[in-house]
Structure 1
Amino acid sequence: MTALTRLHDTIFAPLDRADWILPTLARFLFAAVLAVYFWISGLTKLGEGVLGIFQPSLGAYAQIFPRTMEAVGYDVSQLGTYHWAVVTLGTIAEFVLPLLIIAGLFTRLASLGMIGFIIVQSLTDLNGHGKWGDGLVMGAWFDAPSGSLIMDQRSLWVFLLIVLVVKGAGPLSFDRALARPKAVD
């Protein structure tokens, strides 16, 4: 048994010192799996022209405030500054936060922002789009199917971002380049 333990330690001890693996892999997986998803979603919310980000599309309001839009007959002119600000800031966040995570700039803060974004997105899907009772969308933990949108997929998204909140961006990042040198005790 001692030989087996020693073999185990010999093989896996280097991983104990490899603090760069988790944050680097988390940023890579975020870029590979989620960044384009959020950017394409952001593109669907842009209005016409160069300043379209400040004049969100009708679809942007319908995605973010589905019940409100239905109540006003999809007439955006009946909505106020609050609705415009939420849609505009949400759209900007879909572009900026993933870019910050990929670049490794303000990674912990950007990851917290993305976690908040995913929570709001999920609550909007469940409440605003009326998916609370849809087991395929909501799903459940500790069940056999692993493909539900909210409990399964988005839980893994949030976990990936929590790794970045806890570990930071890793060595290949602007965060590391901008960090102050640590004082030697």
Structure 2
Amino acid sequence: MNALISLHTAIFGRLDRADWLLPTLARFVFAATLLMYFWVSGLTKLGDGFMGLFQPSTGAYAQIFPRAFEAVGYDTDAFGFFHWAVVVAGTWAEFILPALIVIGLLTRLSALGMIGFIVVQSLTDLYGHGGIDHPETLGAWFDRFPDGMIMDQRAFWIMLLLILVVKGAGPISVDRAVSPKDAA
């Protein structure tokens, strides 16, 4: 029995000291599963040409402010500066925050920003797009079905990002490269 305990301690003791493992894997899994999801979503919000960065598509307003956009007859000119600023900031966030996470620059702040983004995205899906009326979209915790888009899927996304908030980017990152050597 002592040999088994010693083997267990030797194996898992090494994992306890592998501070690089979780943040590195978290960034890899984010890049492999969520990077293109957010970038493609951001592309649907861009207007035409270079100025599309500052003049979002009508689809952007429909995605971010669905009920308000419907209420104004799908007329983007009926929206003011606030709506424009939210749509532009949300669109840019879908490109900038994932890119920062993947390269490991300002990783903790970027991951925290992505958590906020996912919370707002989920609330928009539930209340703006009517997901609250569809229990299969909302999902539920502690049931036998792990496929609810909001409660199940996005909980995993947030957990992945929380690893980066707590642990940082890991050793293969811009954060580590530019950090003072004594802080590493």
Same topology, TM > 0.5: yes
Greater mean deviation of Cα atoms: 5-14 or 64-73 = 5-14
Partner of 2:20: 20
Distance, in Å, in 2 between the alignment partners of 1:22 and 1:57 is 38
In structure 2, the partner of 1:64 is 64
How far, CA to CA, are the matches of 1:51 and 1:133 in structure 2?
Answer: 37
Q: Which residue of 2 aligns with 1:175?
A: 175
More helix by share: 2
2:85 alignment partner AA: A
Instruction: Quote how far apart the aligned CAs of 1:134 are.
Output: 1.0
TM-score, scaled relative to structure 1: 0.97
Question: TM-score of the superposition, structure 2-length normalised?
Answer: 0.97
1:35-54 residue pairs with structure 2 within 5 A? 35-54=35-54
Residue matched to 2:29: 29
Counterpart residue number, 2:74: 74
Q: How many residues of Structure 1 are paired with residues of Structure 2 in the alignment?
A: 183
Say yes or no: does 1:130 pair with 2:130.
Answer: yes
- Give the letter aligned to residue 131 of structure 1: G
Distance 1:13 1:97 in 2: 34
Q: Give per-residue Cα distances to partners, 1:111-142, cap 9 Å, x unaligned.
A: 00000000000000001011112111100000
Partner of 2:161: 161
Following TM superposition, the consecutive aligned residue runs of length 4 or more in structure 1 with deviations greater than 6 angstroms are none
Distance (Å, rounded) in 2 between the aligned partners of 1:20 and 1:151: 29
Q: 2 CA distance for matches of 1:57 and 1:7?
A: 59
Distance 1:109 1:7 in 2: 39
C-alpha separation between the residues in 2 aligned to 1:4 and 1:180? 41
Residue 29 of structure 1 deviates from its aligned partner by 0.3
| Secondary structure of 1:146 counterpart | coil
Aligned counterparts of 1:147 and 1:132: Cα–Cα separation in 2: 16
Residue 95 (structure 1) aligned with residue 99 (structure 2):
no
Provide structure 1 residue ranges, at least 5 long, that are not aligned to the other structure: none
Distance in 2 between the 1:54 and 1:154 partners? 29
Query: Aligned to 2:181, what secondary structure does the other structure show?
Result: coil
Instruction: Tell me what 1:55 maps to.
Output: 55
Equivalent position amino acid for 1:29 in 2: V
Q: State how far apart, in whole Å, the 2-side matches of 1:149 and 1:53 are.
A: 29
Q: CA RMSD in A?
A: 0.9
Unmatched runs of 5 consecutive residues or more in structure 2: none
Percent identity, please. Answer: 64
For 2:160 and 2:19, the matched residues in 1 are separated by 16
Residue 11 of structure 1, CA deviation: 2.0
